Structure 1
Amino acid sequence: MNSLIFLILLILSSPSQEEGELVILHQKVQVSGNTSLGKFNCDYIKEGSFDTLKVNNPKAGQALSFQIPIRSFSCGNFILNSDFRSTLKADQYPFAEVKVNNFRQKSGKIYCHLFLDLAGKRLEFPDFILEKRKEGLAGNLILDFATLGLSPPKKLGGLIKVEDQLDLQLLLGM
């Protein structure tokens, strides 16, 4: 009887996830969107950092956190750079902050808790998905301007408009 109870408990208990580590060598954030004239991409890359993150270890309490100077985003030319900075109110909010913690692996994907502080808005995504790629862990987030408390920019009296949707990609390079 005791062995039957033990066997049932063993079958019903969920298998524990294996703990592991991720070594992060660089971070990249890309913001992209569409305008009435075409696509735009604005990138920020932080090289030369070295972080080791624990996976499936809730006791680790470790987070990867980095501040991004809005003026460090590169959009390809000085006009787009200026428009991007103006749209994100870089004079008022000179830094964006990205923080990820609570890394857990399920079904071949890494889930984490993402905090994003951008243009004065603090957003939280408790189950942000990071997929393993050859260059590292990558995750995508779709935001609209209203979520950030911003208005999509317009130029030339509304002739050139930015669509309301922004795509944010986070890459943690390994």
Structure 2
Amino acid sequence: MKHLLYFLFYFAATSLSAQTNTLVILGKTNVNTFKCTNTGFNHVVDLDSKSAQSFSLAVDDFDCRNRMMTADFRKTLHADTHPKMSVKFIKLRKINTSNYYAAQIEVRLMNRAKLYDVTFFSDDRVLQGSKTVKFSDFGITPPKRMGGTIQVKDTLDLSFSLLAKS
């Protein structure tokens, strides 16, 4: 009985913690890499919906696990004047009978929108996908620090993990 209770507790804890929306932005500098994560938004993607679906994220909810880097990231994205980032699923269709979906998404940041084609995988509860984007897609100059000694690369990897329903 003790083992059963432990198993149920472990399963419930891991299931609940794994079921959150996450947008991770991975970037590189000429010295290091960085990872900024946002889990502060609610949205469930309806895999059967034929209409556009969108959600917004607060730029201030991104956390880079380093106070100075987080502040620099938010400053680069102009969180004070553009506090929201949005993602809109323009098209979402299942690829054959697999668990893969082809999507066209619009990412809107700092009043600029860019369309991307993304392939997502779904296990019927979580929709996962990634896309490489650029700061310059949104008119952002990648930041430099320490007099240009540290330069952030223009390329970023967005990684989505979104709650889904069918």
1:53 counterpart (25, 29, 46): 46
Q: Quote the residue 1:81 is aligned against.
A: 70
Q: Quote the residue 1:35 is aligned against.
A: 29
CA RMSD of aligned residues (A): 2.2
- Structure 1 residue 164: deviation in Å? 1.3
Q: How does 1:44-123 map to 2 (within 5 A)?
A: 44-46=38-40, 49=42, 51=44, 53-55=46-48, 60-61=50-51, 63=53, 65-107=54-96, 108=98, 109-123=100-114
Moved over 4 A (4+): none
TM-score scaled by length of structure 1: 0.73
Q: Quote the residue 2:134 is aligned against.
A: 144
CA distance in 2, matches of 1:153, 1:50: 31
Q: Quote the residue 2:12 is aligned against.
A: none
Question: Which structure shows the bigger proportion of residues in strand conformation?
Answer: 1
Question: Residue 29 and residue 52 in structure 1: after superposition, are their counterparts in 2 closer, same or farther (change >3 A)?
Answer: closer
Q: Quote the residue 2:159 is aligned against.
A: 169
Q: Is the 8 A contact 2:52 2:88 kept in 1?
A: no
Structure 1: state its 5+ residue gaps: 1-24
Match of 2:39, SS state, is strand
CA distance in 2, matches of 1:94, 1:41: 19
Q: Percent identity?
A: 26
CA distance in 2, matches of 1:129, 1:98: 15
Q: Is the 8 A contact 1:131 1:137 kept in 2?
A: yes
1:132 counterpart (109, 116, 122): 122
Q: Is the 8 A contact 1:53 1:62 kept in 2?
A: no
- 2:64 maps to a residue whose letter is C
Structure 2: state its 5+ residue gaps: 1-18
